[in-house]
Amino acid sequence: MRADGGVTMVDVGSKAVTERFAHARALVRMPPTAEDALRAATAAKGDAFTTAQIAGILAAKQTANLIPLAHPLPLANVEVAFVWKARGVLQIDATANTNAQTGVEMEAMTAASVAALTIYDMTKSLDKGISIESIRLVEKRGGKSGTWRSEGEA
């Protein structure tokens, strides 16, 4: 924060370019009707998983346009994956990596968030009770602070 109370973009100009990696996760909780439609690929709008995967990747690439003080980064890779954790609980994992002067945590979290929102959009006609929960950073690597993992993660 500036002395006058205003906001500022963090100056990363003197930081070394290093390999950066981040893994974020979102959980989408849904009733059986929505889960069954996703599993059978019969959501009204079409292939929800492919659509959400593309949406998450595109969102990561737009993070600096969405988060006011985020730096634009040359992303080397973004991946979005889905796994059913329990009946009615879809886990979305997003990873991002680059070689840059700042980390990719916001890119991974943006990818997970937008993928979750897309799953909601693709299934909302089946049930409005779908909820997006627990969007969080799971792991980050690189930079001055090194590696960080959320408690309970391998």
Other beta carbons less than 10 A from residue 55's beta carbon: 20
Active centre residues (catalytic): 121
E strand or H helix at 110: helix 105-123
Q: Is the overall model pTM greater than 0.75, yes or no?
A: yes
Domain boundaries, the chain: 18-140
Query: 24: helix, coil or strand?
Result: strand
E strand or H helix at 20: strand 18-29
Other beta carbons less than 10 A from residue 134's beta carbon: 13
> Would you state the pLDDT for residue 7?
79
Q: How many helices (H) and strands (E) in the chain? A: 4, 5
Query: 25: helix, coil or strand?
Result: strand
pLDDT means per 10 residues, the chain with 154 residues, are 74 81 97 89 79 98 94 96 96 96 93 97 90 96 90 70
Give the fold, CATH level 3, of 18-140. Alpha-Beta Plaits (3.30.70)
The residue behind tokens 């370019």 is 17
Residue 94 to residue 112: CA distance in whole angstroms:
5
